[in-house]
Structure 1
Amino acid sequence: MATIAQPLRIAIDVDGGDHGAAVTLPAAAQFLARRPDAHLVLVGTEASLASAAKIIPAGVAGRVSHVIATEVVGMDESPALSLKNKKNSSLRLALNAVKDGQAAACVSAGNTGALMATARFVLKTLPGIDRPAIASLLPTHKGHGKEGDGGVLMLDLGANVDCTPEHLRQFAIMGAALSSALTDKPRPTVALLNIGEEEIKGNDIVKEAAELIRATDLNFIGNVEGTDVFRGTADVVVCDGFVGNVALKASEGIVKLMAQMLREEFARTPLTKAVAALAYPILKRFKARIDPSQHNGATLLGLRGIVIKSHGGTDAFGFSNAIERAYNEIRHDLIAELTERVAAMNTTAPAAAVSAS
């Protein structure tokens, strides 16, 4: 496990994502302005880092260091090929900084598959964890999905399409640990995403996973349906990566559809345009509650180091929130918390559960 360097240090994949340095560098400046105890390790090509001096204010430039990369992993590049052929990419070197103790976390908006594959190779998984999962705090009617603000933590959101019951049990343990760290709830409620609340519903994998999770000391409340996710019925919702990614993308699509419909209706007539002007403060608050950039940043959970995946197309505000997620996880010593909880759960787990992995 990497040793946390002081002051608090976070490695940034400057060239990752759809927009690269045009987004990541302004985001870095925003983050440094509000976190005076943080230091950023900017990892990017010479051309990208050349503009850092113009974007990072002089007042915070002393808390920035540079690592030069000679390659960039494309957003549509094969994860296997990028892992094999691009050992000097900004993505790889940012992860190396965590492994070597130069940083306590890595934040990237780059290729999700490449980030997961490379992170797993470079950092390895925690003892007792077979596969990392992608986890993110999402908004509910109880809160915005930010730290300590009533959101729901959902995992896996796309890393593992096919999962065994034991994998889902591990996701539940890790999700509870992350939720507890970010929300200060000692025993967050945990649920399995299913097609019904009844124990007889779902496929054999979900049913067996429920039995394995029920045998732990997690605060397990059973199954929840898709409609329960954003109601805040549970603090942690567990599913495989196929279901989680479809649910996430569908919800993002609904948000965009609602926003488009509202714009069309308010622009329909002079009267509706006047009403829109009057309703602007309400609409602005509504947008803030559902805007994906407000809760941007998903954790690659289960690695021997903190890795945060930002949405590839986010803006500077969204990417700065992803850096903030890394900051909070370091501050809560998430890796030590996860290691302790997984070890404790596996000590008390039924023999069949442990051997299933």
Structure 2
Amino acid sequence: MRETPIDAPVIAVDAMGGDEGLAVMLAGVARARRSHPGTRFLLVGDEPAILAGLKKHPNLSQASEVVHAPGVVESSEKPTQAIRRAKTTSMGIAIDLVKQGHAAAAVSAGNTGALMAMAKIALRMLPGIDRPALAALLPTLGDNDVVMLDLGANTECDARNLVQFAVMGAAYARTALDLARPRVALLNIGTEDQKGTDEIREAAATLKDAAADRLPIDFIGFVEGDRLASGEVDVIVCDGFSGNIALKTAEGTARFVADLLKRAFRSSARSKLGFLISRPATQLLRDHLDPNNHNGAIFLGLGGIVVKSHGSANELGVATAIGAAAKMVRDDLTRRIAADLAGVAVAAVPVRGAA
């Protein structure tokens, strides 16, 4: 295997990760192949099972190579346990393929904690970054999606971590959303300066000072949870504990709204007629709220591209995550973020009160 160019990327896929099984993973990869015909794949996992599944996807077979992995990282497995088995699991081998230059990115729907731990050890951190952050694009009522991070990689963060997340999230927004100066805010329980934890207020003070003359962002302060989808902000920064709860709440609300509409339209003959009339609008709403259309979170701050697919993603969701990985490779995201970090010297941005 040779190193992969960014204009014809090779994506390593942990075919054994995910709640829905190998068949859905392969169907998703095949769908991504149709949308991104120049992309090739390294399918990592149980070789006999993958080869059997590929019989249903002849076009994917022509663009893929199977890399055998005898082990699988379980969803309940602790990161420390997974790390010890990295050389024999589909997740660990997929990440190593990126490290070795055989793949430009890795995609997995498996254990988030294990994925982060393995990726951090194998790919290292970019200069000036202490921890990776899990970032994703979420739908809004505005013209663009919103970048939100951290979504679960770090449950506890200090002010310095939050400042670094803001710089990385802004760099990602400039690439993914084509924004010159992204609007950045910290997720908080209020918008007043005195609200929030010491860490959040400290990060806000640092970002406010730095944005004035060092960082290419518009720092607008705090944003509350009810404004996540308003479109008023381009980057929302928080610790992984708060971010993961916010993300899962938003996904659950989207499913609730979709199911409520479905139930309402089935309640009577008149409602069914109303559904037929409004079907194009309701379909648009369902597509906009469907998390599978926004699947694929990236670990920012690593020396390589690793994308986390939602464990319960369907075929469309898997394809969306792979498509996101391919776009990041083609946009040379890691190099751009590294350049942004070097340009603003994030390691030199002081956090007030830090030793």
**TM range, smaller chain:** over 0.9
* 1:295–1:318 contact (8 Å) kept in structure 2: yes
Q: Which residue of 2 aligns with 1:98?
A: 98
CA offset at residue 47 of structure 1? Answer: 3.0
Q: 1:191 aligns with which of 185, 188, 206?
A: 185
Q: Which residue of 1 aligns with 2:18?
A: 17
For residues 35-89 of structure 1, what are the alpha-carbon distances to aligned partners after superposition, in whole Å with 9 as ceiling and x for unaligned?
Answer: 122111111112331224313334x533211211111111122221111135211
C-alpha spacing 1:275/1:12, structure 2 compared with 1 (3 Å): same
Alignment of 1:26-41 (within 5 A): 26-41=27-42
TM norm structure 2: 0.93
Count matched residues.
348
2:23 is paired with a residue whose SS is helix
CA offset at residue 235 of structure 1? Answer: 0.4
2:42 is paired with a residue whose SS is strand
> Which amino acid in 2 is paired with 1:80?
T
Identity %: 42
TM norm structure 1: 0.93
> Which amino acid in 1 is paired with 2:49?
S
For residues 298-319 of structure 1, what are the alpha-carbon distances to aligned partners after superposition, in whole Å with 9 as ceiling and x for unaligned?
Answer: 1111111100000001101110
CA offset at residue 188 of structure 1? Answer: 1.1
Take 1:95 and 1:85, find their aligned partners in 2: how far apart are those partners?
Answer: 13
CA offset at residue 155 of structure 1? Answer: 0.4
Alignment of 1:178-327 (within 5 A): 178-216=172-210, 217=215, 218-327=217-326
2:41 is paired with a residue whose SS is strand
1:192 is paired with a residue whose SS is strand
The unaligned stretches of length 5 or more in structure 2 are none
Take 1:249 and 1:117, find their aligned partners in 2: how far apart are those partners?
Answer: 22
C-alpha spacing 1:195/1:351, structure 2 compared with 1 (3 Å): closer
* 2:23–2:53 contact (8 Å) kept in structure 1: no
Take 2:298 and 2:175, find their aligned partners in 1: how far apart are those partners?
Answer: 13
* 1:79–1:114 contact (8 Å) kept in structure 2: yes
Task: Between 130-139 and 17-26, report the one with greater CA deviation.
Answer: 17-26
* 1:5–1:103 contact (8 Å) kept in structure 2: no
For residues 215-243 of structure 1, what are the alpha-carbon distances to aligned partners after superposition, in whole Å with 9 as ceiling and x for unaligned?
Answer: 33222111111122100111000011111
The unaligned stretches of length 5 or more in structure 1 are 144-149
* 1:12–1:108 contact (8 Å) kept in structure 2: yes
4+ residue runs of structure 1 moved beyond 6 angstroms?
none
* 1:215–1:349 contact (8 Å) kept in structure 2: no
Q: Which residue of 1 aligns with 2:49?
A: 48
